[in-house]
Amino acid sequence: MLSFLKSSFWSLLSVGSRTLSALVINKIIAGQFGPQGITLLAHFQNLVTLATTIPIDGINVGLVTYLAGKEPSSTSYRRYYMAGIFWQVLVFLVVIGVFLGRQHFYLGAFLQQVNPISWVVFFILGLVLFLVTAYLQTLLLARQELRAYTVLIAVSSLCSALFIWWYLKILPLPYLLLLYLASQAVTAVFALMMATRQNWLPTWQWQVPPKPILRDIGKFILMALTLVICSKLVNFYVRDLMIKRFDLYQTGLWQAMVKLSDNYTLIFTSLISMVYYPRVASLVQQPAALRRYVRQVFFLLVPAIALGLFLFYALQRWFILLLFNDDFLPGAYLLDYQVLGDFFKMSAWILSYLMMAQARMGLYIVVQVVAAALYLFILFWLVERFGLPGVTMAHCVSFGLFLVFNLIFFRKLIF
């Protein structure tokens, strides 16, 4: 537990810089463009997530699992490293093909009043830099080099906020959003210099990775693909649906409350992915140690989550004014079910990460598909009955059921 808390220190520093950057960006966009700007910002960030979830939450998570404890000079390390690059390139080409093939659906909201070709070109270049940086950061996580990882996150966060602030009144919003990715150019250079200097990169010897190694990473790709379709794409679709049904302003109020949720959720997910998941992955073959560690973390974090969310809810007006402005106060009523749903979500995630650590591909896919279908069913019913608040109600109910499932399935690890 002491090691968890020590590692958490670097995780909190990392997420602190990311959260501060997000707060500044939200404040800047809200002040200049209002709720409509927040809607497009959320839509753009969701688009980036669609493009990067498989590489980051699939390929890179798999690499952390298989590179942990190995030296860069070893044959096994080099093979997994090259397999990761192979999958990254292949997945990226497929994603870009999908985006361009359905350009109106994915990119249409950002191509108004700008040059479509130049916007798409810069968007693609930004994604490349984003993925290169994330891949190098994965090597640091696999080695538990949390201090170096924190430095890179801080550089990226600072540059994102600085670039957007600098060009705020010069560029239209669609181009301004691209600066969210442009900061990765600086971070990629820093990451490459750091990895090269510390000899964290294996000797480059290109050869087609062995099929068993490709399959090992492929399992995580399938799980991440399920996450893209059943979570990220569903969120993108729901937001698009709400824009058409309630207009940009009302959707912007809802998205502002979701942004508040995203900021504290970011703290939690960073802690879990940087500290908890690598440790759990290393204990998979030690059932007794795994159970002891999971129980300790679960019963430490759940009360902390509850306390943190209670304080946030009590100070919601202050947070809305801090992150946005008084134009967004009419959306505060949407936080009731949003915050409760976030408690269910974060509590469940502590356990659901075990599916990935244990490479339970079939179970993970089935759970994600069922959860997405159930969420959409609940959402359509509640939105039809209660209007916009039905979206946050659906969020609360669906994650409440998800928590119940995880408590039952992993009961032997925590009770």
Is residue 411 exposed (0-12), middle (13-18) or buried (19+ Cβ within 10 Å)? exposed
Distances (CA, A) of 255 to 181, 313, 334, 398: 21, 17, 10, 18
What is d(CA 118, CA 69) in angstroms, rounded to the nearest whole number? 43
Q: Could you tell me how many residues make up the chain?
A: 415
Question: Do residues 394 and 251 touch, judged by C-beta distance below 8 A?
Answer: no
What is d(CA 308, CA 170) in angstroms, rounded to the nearest whole number? 38
pTM above 0.75, yes or no: no
What is d(CA 40, CA 34) in angstroms, rounded to the nearest whole number? 10
What is d(CA 396, CA 249) in angstroms, rounded to the nearest whole number? 23
pLDDT at position 9 is 63
**Containing H/E element for 302?**
helix 287-314
Is residue 166 exposed (0-12), middle (13-18) or buried (19+ Cβ within 10 Å)? exposed
HSE of 206, CA atoms in CB hemisphere, 13 A: 2
What is d(CA 165, CA 180) in angstroms, rounded to the nearest whole number? 11
pLDDT at position 4 is 53
Question: Do residues 251 and 243 touch, judged by C-beta distance below 8 A?
Answer: yes
Question: Do residues 105 and 64 touch, judged by C-beta distance below 8 A?
Answer: no
pLDDT at position 302 is 94
pLDDT at position 349 is 92
Alpha helical stretches, state H, 59-183: 61-67, 75-101, 103-107, 116-142, 146-166, 173-182
Distances (CA, A) of 137 to 61, 140, 188, 195, 312: 11, 5, 9, 9, 31
Q: What is the dihedral of CA 56, 54, 278, 358, to 10 degrees?
A: 180
What is d(CA 183, CA 165) in angstroms, rounded to the nearest whole number? 12
What is d(CA 308, CA 319) in angstroms, rounded to the nearest whole number? 13
pLDDT digit of tens for each residue in the chain (415 aa)?
555 555 556 666 666 777 778 778 888 888 888 888 888 888 888 888 888 888 988 898 888 878 877 777 788 888 888 888 899 999 999 999 999 998 888 888 788 778 888 899 999 998 998 898 888 888 877 777 667 777 777 777 788 888 888 888 888 888 888 888 877 777 777 778 877 777 777 777 777 778 888 888 888 888 788 878 888 888 888 888 888 888 778 888 898 898 888 888 877 887 787 778 878 877 888 888 889 988 998 999 999 999 999 999 999 999 898 888 888 899 899 999 999 999 999 999 999 888 877 778 788 888 889 999 999 999 999 999 999 999 999 999 999 999 999 999 999 888 7
